[in-house]
Amino acid sequence: MTHTLHRQGPIDSFEHDYVVFSMSAKNYNEKNSNVALREFIKILSKYKVVNMGDMKTGGMYLVDQDKIINNVQDTSIVHAVFQDKEEVKKALREIKEADLGISVIVTGIVNEVQDICQEVGIERHTVEYSVGIRGKLSRLPEEELLEITTMCGHGMVSQHLARQMLLDMKRGKRSAREVGEILATPCVCGVFNPKRAQQLLEELAEVWCFDEF
Amino acid sequence: MRIDAAKCVGCGQCHQFCTMGAIYFTRSDKGSKVHCFVDEDECVDCGICFRSQVCPTDSLYQINHDWPRSIRGTFSNPLSEHKETRVPGRGTEEMKTNDITNRYKRGYAGMAAEMGRPGTGARLRDAEKVFKSLAKLGVEFEPNNPLTGLLANKQTGEMNPEVVNEKVLSAIIEMVFPLELVIPVLDVMEQVAEEIDTVFSIDLVARVDEDLAVPTAKVMEKHEKWFSLNGKTNLGLGHLRVKGAGLS
């Protein structure tokens, strides 16, 4: 269950990619935690989010935000994706103030997240890094496609869909924005960043060569 | 997942959603209509082709598989929950609730091998190879992890033989051990990586020190091992008096 770890790409592509999410702990503080989890996602939704979701309901490119909020359950894991560090800071300040008691996790450049914590007056507790991929690396798709597909840690965004969307863009059938949003739909947690995908795809469309026909 | 050949019009819109690339075109005889089919041996029952709702004739359908095939869906479909952990997907809450559970204490590290991630899928016989190699180091596998639950012998890492040919989108081997074992465990992972027919992604977790430094970062830097600059931070805001929990 490390669905927001292992996002790949050059470090500057993470400067506008933060996932803020929360869950309660089974057998500790789960009972009736839906109230706090709902307040958490409501608070985040007031800020400039580029995606949000809960796997109990889906992501905001599949269902509407109110439905996500209203369907929050004790066992939900609720997520929102931000592009802007200042927005994350403001949202976390409000979350801290609300003292919800549920665990809050932020995925992003670890040092940037630490800066935010210091400014908001939060002492970080635990940190998780990716140590990379091992094994039969020849089975992986191109690095550029992995930068897109790894934004859904459950692997729901297939390389074939990314490839097809890239081809549709190249042929002028779809815009980069549209493609970013389509690629976000399989990600039921709502942790896929369609804006980052849009930016990566815009850069990629120019250089990508479809020689597979 | 299956496709009703009689209803399918062979448009192929589901093909691109398949995480395993296991949907193909076929026709029964020369001159008969083209339709799609799922290579069920390669399919991991993640359900994304069905949930994408792109089929114009509702030809995709999911059947309830018996054991051991049933584990494909519980590991691969994030909407499925494991009965034992009630956590959807592949693993546990790991560091996400460490501020409450204290699963990763100071002086310890958590490591995981996410078999089949990113996007290749994994046969559990490959997970067994990794389990067996790690077991020789004497590490303890996370008891609440659903993959640990498929071990026939936790000391040797041998899996239930009924499941080893099953394929999942990904499944996580999770461990906690003293910090000094991080590099030996990583070395073992790198050795066994050469013997498997899939990939795995490696996670490294630690509770921060009192000065808020990350001990695992120090270990990796000291041994000149790569680790990502982006990662997950548990902010330590959790506690047992959850707001509103008495009101619901």
* A91 and A17 share one domain: yes
Residue B98 lies in a domain: yes
Q: Which residues of chain A lie closer than 8 angstroms to B23, CB-CB? A: none
Bridge partners of A18, per DSSP, are A82
Please state, as a whole number, how many other Cβ atoms lie within 10 Å of the Cβ of residue A64: 11
CB B141 within 8 A of CB B108: no
Domain count, chain A: 2
* B194 and B148 share one domain: yes
| Inter-chain touch B234–A104, beta carbons under 8 Å | yes
CB B73 within 8 A of CB B79: no
* Domain interval for residue A181: 137-207
Q: What is the pLDDT along chain A (213 residues), one digit of tens a residue?
A: 578 999 999 999 999 999 999 999 999 999 999 999 999 999 999 999 999 999 899 999 999 999 999 999 999 999 999 999 999 999 999 999 999 999 999 999 999 999 999 999 999 999 999 999 999 999 999 999 999 999 999 999 999 999 999 999 999 999 999 999 999 999 999 999 999 999 999 999 888 887 655
Structure tokens at A207: 């250089």
Mean pLDDT, range B144-166, rounded to an integer: 95
Identify the DSSP state of B26. E
Instruction: Give, rounded to a whole angstrom, the gap between the first and last alpha carbons of chain B.
Output: 39
CB A201 within 8 A of CB A165: yes
Domain count, chain B: 2
pLDDT band at B89 (very low <50, low <70, confident <90, very high): low
Interface confidence: ipTM more than 0.85: yes
- pLDDT single digits (tens) B199-208: 999 999 999 9
3-state secondary structure of A206: helix
Identify the DSSP state of B161. T
* B28 and B144 share one domain: no
| Inter-chain touch A32–B244, beta carbons under 8 Å | yes
| Inter-chain touch A135–B186, beta carbons under 8 Å | no
pTM of the model: 0.95
| Inter-chain touch B199–A153, beta carbons under 8 Å | no
CA nearest B3: which of B94, B11, B176, A7? B11
| Inter-chain touch B186–A131, beta carbons under 8 Å | yes
Torsion angle, CA of B57/B58/B59/B65, rounded to 10 degrees?
180
Residue in A5, A134, A153 nearest the CB of B200: A134
Residue A84's domain is classified under what CATH number?
Answer: 3.30.70
3-state secondary structure of B248: coil
Nearest Cα of chain B lies from the Cα of A16 at a distance, in angstroms, of 12
Q: Which residues of chain A lie closer than 8 angstroms to B238, CB-CB? A: 24-25, 29, 101-104
CA–chain centroid gap for B26, Å, is 31
Residue A213 lies in a domain: no
* Continuous H helices in chain B: 48-51, 70-76, 98-101, 124-135, 182-192, 215-222
Q: Which residue is listed with tokens 């080893």?
A: B164
Residue A3 lies in a domain: no
* Domain interval for residue B35: 2-61
